[in-house]
Amino acid sequence: MPQQTRTHRVAPTLAAVTALATAVLGLTLSTRAAGEPAPGGLTDGWAGAGMPEGPAGRMLLAAPGGYPVTGIDVSHYQPDIDWKKVADKGAKFAYAKVTEGTHYVDDQYRKNLSGAKRNGVYFGAYHFARPDRSGGRTQADYFLDRAQYTNDGRTLPPMLDIEWPYKWDGKYVADHPCWGRSKSELVKWIRDFTERVRERTGSATMIYTNPNWWNPCTGRSTSFGRHYLFVSSYTDKVMGLPAGWDHWTLWQYANHGKLPGDQNVFNGSLSDLAALASNPLGPMPKLVVGDWDGDGTMTAGLVTPAGEHWRWRLTNQRGTAPVATGGTDPLLTPDLDFEYGDVEKAPIVGDWDGNRTWTPGTVDSEGKRHDYYLANGFRPGPADVHVGFGDVEDVPLVGDWDGNGTFTPGTADADGKRHDWKFTNSLTDPKTEVKVTVGDAGKTPVVGDWDGNGTYTPGTVDNDGERHDYYLVNSLTATTAEIHLGFGGVYTVPLVGDWDGDRKSTPGVVDASGTTMRWLQLNSLVGGDLPDLAFRYGETGILPDPQPSPSPSASTSPSPAPVGDPAVPMSPRPMSPPPSAKPGLNRLPIVPKV
């Protein structure tokens, strides 16, 4: 492919131009400078941060002709944006950074989200990839937990920024240019991230990259052409695309201009942009497990938006031993169907009053702390308990930390190399009563009663490799894992619960690759490939995926190797069918319709 001419990120040497433009437009322009510290002293990148020094091409000062739908991408480097003026000056869409790795949250994201949407700007969130730090699924969860994605017809697909490592204080933050990873490792990392986005939102991923990074670092992978491409090319036309794509959706053509942040155009009309934001599949249901009837055994639940509230569909039925090949697992039905909780808050479940029955709750992650709104029954209405606990940047958890039968809040901090856990044993006067540091911060935190003594303790789940790996401890003083087991294909959704009433929490997974969700559960901590129980519960909203005819310009993502016996098939969640037409670089993209 032709070489893409690149320019380095513009620093304050443009101060005079910036001052004049600010006076004329009344807008906050990019003031980002190399080596400028991020909030809290953390390093963080942006869309284009890794752009190498090179011969300066002609940077466009206005949007390229033929693309009337313009937009921007921003981060905390453009503070206090006046979104009304942004909209008045013609921006129709925007992306804003929300996270990087599992160590950084952009402190301007919430203001950018509310400001853009309040002024009618289509809005999307992006994550700066750090393949050097942790796995793709782990970072996708960290990103989505903070992005507040909603299928409201105004939210653009979640975006992955995958490019060169950037420099901080004159040094690269990771091995350059490919983050110290092999080509196959990077392809797997991107696949894990995009599959997790699909599982949780129903959406394909907007991938921000360019051919000069993508082709050498992924080995010219063609596995992602069914995702949307956000290409960076600081030239008067797009000079080639990464392998696997034959058209682009968004083009970042300059890193400064009349609007704040980077300057972009959309490859289509305003109605095409609306279709891009429609996400007809919608998010998959959130999965919960709990003891809804107090019989000591945990069963499945689904939580979906219903207007402004969550709709809870919980079943008291249990699975059976997996059927032989060709058979059908039992299809379970809800026993409870009700609404509770604001959809802007995350759903949780637990036993808040010690009566052995698990009931709903929600967690609000705005402000300086987590706020819990807990109900002691299955019904609409106000919360029975409201309690605040834990730094809002940490992962909220609930469990029985002292064995008294009542669940209380906790958090897990992933800023360092290991998780820092903090727990309170009170719902009336919540103070940190237990602290423990254990578990690799690059793995997903979980809690459960692993030894059946009535007390919940920490664990982590590794979402890399071919299966989920669990690292668990049986005390609140341990510093290293005491139990290690593996269960479930890594592309499945991991869960933990007491599936057989023996009081011990064990792994389970949900395979959401077909039209219905298949739940697979293990009743021991020995591990293995074969589940003890299996059933189907909940629809995914995904239609069967017809395979396209092979062509040089498009291919499907290779399936991960199945885990376990052929009698327990597992397969990755399919993507939406690709468009039949193959537009060229300057033709309109095909946007999926309902």
Kindly write down the DSSP assignment for every residue of 206-227, as one continuous string: EEEE-HHHHHHHHTS--TTTTS
What pLDDT, in 10s, does the model give residues 58-93? 455 677 878 999 999 999 888 889 999 999 999 999
Catalytic residue flag (residue 73)? yes
Q: What's the pLDDT at 256?
A: 80
- Using CB atoms within 10 Å of the CB of residue 82, give its burial: 0 to 12 exposed, 13 to 18 middle, 19+ buried: middle
- Do the beta carbons of residue 149 and residue 125 sit within 8 Å? yes
- Do the beta carbons of residue 563 and residue 322 sit within 8 Å? no
What average pLDDT does the segment 24-50 reach? 42
Same domain, 270 and 338: no
Q: Which residues contact 317 (CB under 8 A, 6 or more apart)?
A: 299, 330, 332, 333, 335, 535
Q: Which pLDDT band holds residue 282 (cuts at 50, 70, 90)?
A: low
Which of 163, 192, 393, 413 is catalytic? The answer is 163
The pairing of strands 385-391 and 171-172 is unpaired
Examine the pLDDT at 40 and tell me if it is beyond 90: no
Q: What's the pLDDT at 572?
A: 28
DSSP code for 344: T
Q: Is residue 248 part of a domain?
A: yes
Write down the residue that tokens 């935190």 correspond to. Answer: 445
What pLDDT, in 10s, does the model give residues 6-35? 322 222 222 222 222 222 222 323 333 333
- Do the beta carbons of residue 76 and residue 103 sit within 8 Å? no
Same domain, 299 and 222: no
Same domain, 100 and 175: yes
- Do the beta carbons of residue 99 and residue 414 sit within 8 Å? no
Same domain, 349 and 267: no
Q: What's the pLDDT at 308?
A: 87
What tokens were used for 75?
A: 């981060």
Indicate the average pLDDT of the chain. Answer: 80
The pairing of strands 434-440 and 418-423 is antiparallel
Which of 161, 413, 449, 469 is catalytic? The answer is 161
Same domain, 253 and 335: no
- Do the beta carbons of residue 383 and residue 374 sit within 8 Å? yes
Same domain, 155 and 214: yes
Final residue before a domain boundary, out of 482, 507, 530: 482
What's the number of domains the chain is made of?
A: 2
Which of 73, 402, 420, 532 is catalytic? The answer is 73
Q: Which residue has the higher pLDDT, 175 or 559?
A: 175
- Do the beta carbons of residue 48 and residue 254 sit within 8 Å? no
Q: What's the pLDDT at 289?
A: 98
Final residue before a domain boundary, out of 450, 482, 514: 482
Same domain, 306 and 271: no
Same domain, 62 and 184: yes
What does residue 385 show for φ and ψ, rounded to 5 degrees?
-135, 135
Q: What's the pLDDT at 226?
A: 85
Q: Is residue 389 part of a domain?
A: yes
What pLDDT, in 10s, does the model give residues 439-481? 988 788 999 999 999 999 999 998 767 789 999 999 999 989 9
Same domain, 299 and 424: yes
Same domain, 266 and 338: no
Range of the structural domain that residue 36 is part of = 12-276
Q: How far apart are CA 67 and CA 63, in angstroms?
A: 7
Same domain, 391 and 249: no
Single pTM value for the model: 0.62
Helices (H), 63-135: 83-88, 109-118
Same domain, 272 and 344: no
Q: Which value, in Å, is the radius of gyration of the alpha carbons in the chain?
A: 24
